Amino acid sequence: MTSHTQSAISELKTMEKFIDIGYNIYYQLTGREPFDFIAERDGKLLRVEVKSTNHTTKNGKAYIASIKATRMKANSIVRRRFDVNQCDVLAVYICPLDTMCFLLSHDVKVSCNIRFRKNSSPNTNKDKKAYLIDKCTDLEKVLAGRTGIEPATNGFGGHYSA
């Protein structure tokens, strides 16, 4: 699968999740904005940035997603670090698990790569600094701020589970 196809599938799966909970979707055709689409419900607009990953850590315990912004500009690709002020929700599609993870942008304290892990028993320090997938999959809870996810301050992004 090409990265373009993977990106398109990720965006469509993310839009589906928003539609399922009553949002209208406004998709940009130009690709010039620093987000992928806008979700609207009851007059409230959310700018949504979508990323996807197939990559795991060396030990296979966590998934790593690049969250740099990638946009086309005059026949070239421009990459910028993730900026929490450019979107409201970050969605990451973990392809091998066919799973969407959602984070409020202000909870993301990294600008290049973010980690997600499946269980609460990390093997390495870096895996400890990964978001728990189970805490990020319920979009309604994430939007309501009821996930128990705490903004990371450790440079990797993460929720330390109890």
For 33-45, write each residue's pLDDT tens digit: 888 999 999 999 9
Please indicate, yes or no, if residue 74 is contained in any of the structural domains.
Answer: yes
Identify the pLDDT of residue 152.
Answer: 42
Mean pLDDT of 132-139: 89
Identify the pLDDT of residue 148.
Answer: 55
Identify the pLDDT of residue 113.
Answer: 86
pLDDT, one tens digit per residue, over 105-132 is 888 877 788 888 887 665 555 556 788 8
pLDDT confidence band for 82 (50 / 70 / 90): confident
Identify the pLDDT of residue 50.
Answer: 93
In angstroms, rounded to a whole number, what is the distance separating the alpha carbons of residues 123 and 75? 43
Domain with 79, as residue range(s), is 3-144
Please indicate, yes or no, if residue 162 is contained in any of the structural domains.
Answer: no
Please indicate, yes or no, if residue 156 is contained in any of the structural domains.
Answer: no
Altogether, the residues listed in the chain come to a count of 162
Identify the pLDDT of residue 146.
Answer: 60
> Which of 43-47, 60-64, 69-73, 156-160 bottoms out in mean pLDDT, i.e. has the lowest?
156-160
The CA-to-CA distance between both ends of the chain, in Å, stands at 37
Mean pLDDT estimate for the chain:
81
CATH number at residue 134: 3.40.1350.10
Please indicate, yes or no, if residue 138 is contained in any of the structural domains.
Answer: yes
pLDDT at residue 55 tops 80: yes
Please indicate, yes or no, if residue 153 is contained in any of the structural domains.
Answer: no
The pTM of this model reads 0.81
In angstroms, rounded to a whole number, what is the distance separating the alpha carbons of residues 81 and 155? 13
Domains contained in the chain, number: 1
Please indicate, yes or no, if residue 88 is contained in any of the structural domains.
Answer: yes
pLDDT at residue 72 tops 50: yes
In angstroms, rounded to a whole number, what is the distance separating the alpha carbons of residues 70 and 11? 14
